[in-house]
Amino acid sequence: MMVAKKFAAVAATLALAACASTDTRLPALDLPAPTSTHVAGVERWWTQFNDPQLTTLIEEALAANLDLRLAIVRIDEARASLRLARSSLYPSLDADFGASRARRSQSTDFAFPGPQISNAFSGGLRAAYEVDLWGRLASGRSAAQAELLATRYSAETVRTALAAQVASTYFSLRALDAELQIARDTLGTRSENIKLQKQRFDAGLVGEYELRLSEAERSAVAAVIPALERAIAQSEAALAVLAGRSAREVYTPMVARGKDLATIATTSEIELEVPPGLPADLLARRPDIRQAEANLTAASARIDEARAQYFPSLILTGRFGGESSDLSDLFSAPARMWSIAGNLLQPIIGAARIGAQVDAATARRNQAEIGYVQSVQAAFRDAHDALVAHRSARDVFVAQDERRSQLTDALRLSDLRYKSGYSSFIDVLDNQRNLLDAQRARVNALRDRQTALVDLYKALGGGWSPEVFAQSAAPPR
């Protein structure tokens, strides 16, 4: 009697555990107030730079980049897993055919009449179906659907990051091109200075000291050019890799240029619609957050799938066919046979194993919840940092542009003072060196401003369309 009561208590406990439903609500979040109701033009934000070559590079990368292709292949894997999970909800039907030949022993005490060697042939159809009484199979299907959705969002995350990386690398390449042109122009100017100083030295107007300083300045500029050429070659190879080109094209990269960096910056300053602030739909716009949400949904469904194992499983089987010792009689009426059966399997000793599976699924769900919160946290930090960086980069460029203009005037004045005998040649060299640094710093400020704009669009979920995604990439039902 005591054993029966204990068994009933255990059974009741298992039933309550199996019937418990997993909470699928998203965790409560303390979110900042949005500062913009809508952000327009972010789906294909790179077209707003009005540089056809940049658009061509990004579209080439979106079509052939290997990281993106790998993410798409993972979608195919998740889609196959979903088909596998859905197939368990339907009956299976198999055709089976068998043939055997056997000889009986003559050394036994009891001998059966008939021939010692016999043949046996069988064939027919077998059907099996598991009745999903407690929703285990349906929960598995729901989890597979959510996992497929997560892989789709993962591919969109790769897509947004890829477009931003191509744009940033392209702007860095155009900045290096501009620096190289400045260095080459400066090298020409330094060479002309040496010729003038050589003429003045031959005429006895300047000493050897001034001539050697001029030559040293020219050598300093000449040393910059190979480093810039190396950086340009490396950036071209990086763009070739991002574009998914062949190994031969990566080894000998040919990257066509579009507009120069100054023209792109001017166009973006006038025409490009800069996102005004934090959009109200940021959580829906960021594919990485949607991916974390789908992972959380899948993890919750896996808990229900594991918990349903506490209940018995009901499997129905059936067979129709024939059995005969002669192959020619296999499908005759006397050889016909059929069977229908039902099996009910209730775990008893394995409850601890099921409990461990439920605990493991619960732990994975808790991890997915933390991952979701972390994704939201990272998204708002990205948006905050991008907005701050955009404002900062714009101010830095204005200051660097003013500095270049001021140093241009300073160099002109110092050259006049030197030719008039009011200052030394060292003052001219210092101003030449400072102007070169200011010109390169201005180019880098231009690059940083464009890169900050790219990061801003990426942080606000640019590079894909949630509406198009919902229409064309929804998981199958």
Cβ atoms 443, 178 nearer than 8 A: yes
CA atoms of 399 and 393, how far apart (whole Å): 10
pLDDT value, residue 307: 92
What secondary structure, in 3-state letters, does 340-405 show? EEEEEECCCCCHHHHHHHHHHHHHHHHHHHHHHHHHHHHHHHHHHHHHHHHHHHHHHHHHHHHHHH
CA atoms of 213 and 432, how far apart (whole Å): 12
CA atoms of 298 and 290, how far apart (whole Å): 12
CA atoms of 27 and 48, how far apart (whole Å): 37
pLDDT (tens place) for every residue of the chain, 477 residues total: 444 444 454 455 455 555 556 777 888 887 888 777 666 668 888 988 889 999 999 999 999 999 999 999 999 999 999 998 988 888 888 888 888 888 877 776 666 666 778 788 888 888 888 888 888 889 999 999 999 999 999 999 999 999 999 999 999 999 999 999 999 999 998 888 888 888 888 777 777 888 888 888 899 999 999 999 999 999 999 999 999 999 999 999 999 998 888 887 776 554 456 677 777 788 888 999 999 999 999 999 999 989 998 988 888 888 888 888 777 777 777 878 888 888 888 888 778 888 898 999 999 999 999 999 999 999 999 988 998 998 999 899 999 999 999 999 998 998 888 888 788 888 888 888 999 999 999 999 999 999 999 999 999 888 888 877 877 665 555
Residue type, 54: L
pLDDT value, residue 443: 94
What secondary structure, in 3-state letters, does 161-184 show? HHHHHHHHHHHHHHHHHHHHHHHH
CA atoms of 197 and 185, how far apart (whole Å): 19
Q: pLDDT tens digits for 19-66?
A: 556 777 888 887 888 777 666 668 888 988 889 999 999 999 999 999
Strand-pairing partners, residue 172, are none
For the sheet with 336-345, list strands across it: 92-103, 117-131, 313-324, 336-345
* CATH number at 32-91+119-472: 1.20.1600.10
pLDDT value, residue 230: 96
- Report the candidate in 354, 365, 361 with the shortest Cα–Cα distance to residue 311: 354
Q: pLDDT tens digits for 361-373?
A: 999 999 999 999 9
- Helix, strand, coil shares, percent, the chain, to 5: 65, 10, 25
| Alpha carbon distances (Å) from 338 to 17, 64, 125, 153, 335 | 40, 56, 9, 49, 10
Which element (helix H / strand E) includes 469? helix 466-472
